[in-house]
Amino acid sequence: MTEGIFPLLGAAFVVLIVLPAFALLAKAGLVLLERDEAGGILHHLNLRYLLLTGSSVLPLAWFFSAGLHQAEGDKSAYACLFDHEATLCFEPGLFALTLGLVVVFLSRSVLRGLRGARPAHGAGVHVLARIEDVLAKHPRLRALRGRVVVTDEPGFALGTYGWIQPRVFIGVAFAARLSDDMLASALGHETEHVRSLDPLRYLLLQFALAVNPFGRFLLERHAARWYAAREAHCDREAVIRGALPLPLADAIVHAARPTNQQAVALGARDAGVLKFRIGLLLAFAERSPSRCCDRGPSAFSMSLVLLLLALLSPHETGTAALDALHTGAEQALTYLWP
């Protein structure tokens, strides 16, 4: 009984106490960053992303790594988990396994929602040839060469899918409604998503919110603001790299217009965000924007360094927090069942 309590109570403690506490701290940081009156809500994108995802991912990584580290006991983690003679390392190993299973269970909604658009047949060939022409004419779009997929999925407009090698999907009907200027500018916007691996970033953010029981309650509104600011940032970057602001604005409005096949209702508040993005693009048409709001690709290197630190620190600096959790869980058991 005593042997089994730490893996169960420990994992429950991490998910129900540690993660919400980190989410609360992240919320405090986000509120402070967003309060900055000089457009603070549009800036600090990388730092805000780090707070949104790091508040769940980093403590989980640390506890998972600490569990495996304690499980080693001069043997590999594999041996600890499956060699029944390795009794010393059985409990922390099982704790790490339980924690992993809880994380998979909590993030199942995110995993279920992953799917790409369907490639086109027939009609898409002409659209693809036109897009290749547009890409050839605009060197700033070279990151998209070989990465654009035409889809005949009804009502699909334009979006970027794929975590490691993102691809841009474009609807046949949507592409037909755009002029070449609009198409090039819209692809310029997607180039920023591709360069910054945004689908992967968005996935990690959804995962971070899903695994934290209070994540959505405490951080979802901040995440929604981050998404909106990120889209506005991609518009800005596209214009800085040569996209035309007004054709881009036009393409965005076209993409936002629902078709007859769609029954989507996001509410009028998102229309406010759309108007805001269009307003900024009108401003960019009057006066070229300057770079701001953090460069996208640097977020990954920063996140990776922090993740590595969280994974390696139990091996370097000890696992005192896990030890306290371990003894605490077993003491709790003696109080409950003396």
Partner 1 sequence: MDVVWSKHLTAFAVGEVLIVLEKQREIAYTTVMTTLSRLYDKGLLTRERDGKRYLYSPKLTREQFLESTAREVLDGAVGGHRAMAMLAEKLSDASADDLDELEALIRRRREELGQ
Judged by CB under 8 A, the chain residues 216 through 245 that form the site for partner 1 are: 216, 220-221, 223-225, 227-229, 231, 234, 244
Q: Which is nearer to partner 1, 2 or 262 (by Cβ)? A: 262
Contact of 277 with 231, CB cutoff 8 Å: yes
- Angstrom CA distances, 213 to 96, 102, 138, 147, 207, stand at 18, 11, 46, 37, 11
- Span 40-59, contacts to partner 1 by CB under 8 A: 40-42
User: Rule CB under 8 A: is residue 19 a binding residue for partner 1?
Assistant: no
Residue 87 main-chain phi, psi, to 5 deg: -65, -30
Establish if 161 lies at the interface with partner 1 (CB under 8 A).
Answer: yes
- CB nearer to partner 1: pick between 43 and 69: 43
Q: Kindly tell me which residue out of 61, 158, 183, 243 binds partner 1, with binding defined by CB under 8 A.
A: 158
Whole-number Cα distances in Å, 17 to 22, 49, 148, 212, 214: 9, 22, 44, 10, 10
Q: Within 13 Å of residue 90, how many CA atoms lie on the same side as its CB?
A: 11
Q: Which residue has the tokens 């980093």?
A: 58
CB closer to partner 1, 71 vs 228: 228
- Among 66, 150, 157, 183, interactor with partner 1 by CB under 8 A: 157
Residue from 173, 273, 302, 306 in contact with partner 1 (CB under 8 A): 273
CB of 73 or CB of 289, closer to partner 1: 289
| Closer to partner 1 by Cβ: residue 5 or 229 | 229
Q: Could you give the angle at which helices 215-240 and 268-286 cross, rounded to 10 degrees?
A: 30
- Member of 24, 32, 125, 283 binding partner 1 (CB under 8 A): 283
Q: Which of 38, 165, 316, 336 binds partner 1 (CB under 8 A)?
A: 38
With tokens 């600096």, the residue in question is 317
Question: What is the C-alpha R_g of the chain?
Answer: 24
Subset of residues 103 to 132 that bind partner 1, contact rule: CB under 8 A: 109-110, 113-114
Stretch that binds partner 1, among 49-57, 74-82, 267-275, 320-328 (CB under 8 A): 267-275
Helices and strands (DSSP H and E) totals, the chain: 15, 3
Give yes or no for residue 278 binding partner 1 (CB under 8 A): yes
Place of tokens 């693809």: 128
**How many angstroms separate the CA atoms of 335 and 337, rounded?**
6
Which range of residues in 9-17, 82-90, 281-289, 316-324 is near partner 1 by CB under 8 A?
A: 281-289
User: Contacts with partner 1 in 65-94 (CB under 8 A)?
Assistant: none
